[in-house]
Amino acid sequence: MSDFLVNGYKNITPYVPGEQPRDKKYIKLNTNESPFCPPESVMNAVAGQVADIQLYSDPELLNLRRQMSDSFNMPIECIAMTNGSDEALNLAFMAFADKQKPLAFADITYGFYKVIAELNAIPYTLIPLSEDLSVCADDYVGINKTIVIANPNAPTGKYLEIGEIEKIVKSNPENIIIIDEAYIDFGGESAAALIGKYNNLIVIGTFSKSRSMAGARLGYVFAAPEIIADINAIRYSMNPFNVNAFTEAAGIAVLKEQKYFDDKCDTIKKNRSWTQQKLRELGFDVIDSMTNFVFAMTEAMGGKELYLKLKDKGVLVRHFDSERIKNYNRITIGTIEQMRTLIGKIEEILEEKQNEEC
């Protein structure tokens, strides 16, 4: 830390993203990216944009928002686009939470919430997940806080029924409820259908997971028009060109390939069932997942030990050093070949462990 950093930032703990190692080729099952590249139309759309690189991107992102409106059946004035959904979360926290409107979120959820809250000096309350690591909707009913819920939740993979989400939104009419739907395309039902009914609901989504665009950074916000206007006031005050022209072009092309991505999500769901079953056969405790990852633990060894041994064998998974979940690993669902390799390596590791103990 330099002597020049202002006091307000001296105590922040930055987010630690999952490793993106460049040292050797790993089977990367640690950051919930899609294992599938986008279709050719997306590559062509990006290439077609190069000739206009001297021009600023469209701050209103009209073409992309029109396509979003079509694809999601959402009025265009209810849509804002962001540089990844992490930016959407930051904008929403800035706009709708502060000392008077503190945040509430689960003790085990997306690690970025805490980081963004601290960056913006927003106080927050952690609401513990239940014993089985579920979000319990009743814990959020009428609590008079700005609430953020990842649904399905990360890293557990558990999904909260939309009726439960509605209960939370309805019972906190004075506060904004943010639903982070990064993984909604892998089996859940989006709360976006409730936007017309409640003016205190924000739904945030991303192109990073189900739409194979993590590297392009594209996220979105769905909310009532006044809410979107507030988000835009902050967006224009920070970075009006937050979504670059290549990403806009890629986003439009991706949305036109709905069938391609629906098929890929179906493949991920199949591979997920396969992986869950294989892990259970090997004695793992696996939480039923509604996402493109599974959260699993074994009595045979600690979560960190398994993570390190897998890494040693060229397979990266994500381990969180947090007390309640330290026995678990979060494993991204990849191609069936990748999952076969994962299971093979786990079998080896379990066998080596047994031999050690004999």
Positions that interact with ligand PLP (CB under 6 A): 32, 84-86, 110, 150, 154, 180, 182, 206, 208, 214, 219
Omega prior to 152 cis, within 30 of 0: yes
CB of 240 to ligand PLP, least distance (A): 19
Q: Which is nearer to ligand PLP, 85 or 212 (CB)?
A: 85
Instruction: Show Cβ contacts of residue 100 under 8 Å, excluding neighbours closer than 6 positions.
Output: none
CB of 312 to ligand PLP, least distance (A): 26
CB of 218 to ligand PLP, least distance (A): 7
CA distance 48 to 115: 37
Q: Which is nearer to ligand PLP, 57 or 208 (CB)?
A: 208
Q: Which is nearer to ligand PLP, 154 or 279 (CB)?
A: 154
For residue 219, give the H/E element and its range.
strand 219-222
CB of 183 to ligand PLP, least distance (A): 7
**The two structure tokens encoding residue 309:** 């041994």
Q: Which is nearer to ligand PLP, 74 or 150 (CB)?
A: 150
Q: Which is nearer to ligand PLP, 110 or 295 (CB)?
A: 110
CA distance 305 to 317: 12
CB of 180 to ligand PLP, least distance (A): 5
Q: Which is nearer to ligand PLP, 72 or 341 (CB)?
A: 72
CB of 81 to ligand PLP, least distance (A): 11
Q: Which is nearer to ligand PLP, 216 or 253 (CB)?
A: 216
Report which residue's Cβ sits closest to ligand PLP: 84
CB of 353 to ligand PLP, least distance (A): 30
CA distances, 176 to each of 129, 143, 172, 270, 328 (Å) = 21, 11, 8, 36, 32
- Alpha-helical segments (H) within the chain: 40-49, 62-72, 84-96, 112-119, 162-171, 225-238, 245-255, 258-281, 303-312, 336-357
CB of 137 to ligand PLP, least distance (A): 18
Q: Which is nearer to ligand PLP, 150 or 290 (CB)?
A: 150
The SS3 assignment for 330 reads strand
Please report where in the chains the tokens 């670059």 appear, as a residue: 244
CB of 249 to ligand PLP, least distance (A): 18
Helix axis angle, 245-255 relative to 40-49, nearest 10°? 150
CA distance 119 to 113: 10
| Count of Cβ atoms closer than 10 Å to residue 127 Cβ | 18
DSSP string covering 246-294: HHHHHHHHHHTTHHHHHHHHHHHHHHHHHHHHHHHHTT-EE---SSSEE
Residues 329 and 318 sit within 8 Å (Cβ to Cβ): yes
Q: Which is nearer to ligand PLP, 186 or 284 (CB)?
A: 186
Amino acid present at 298: T
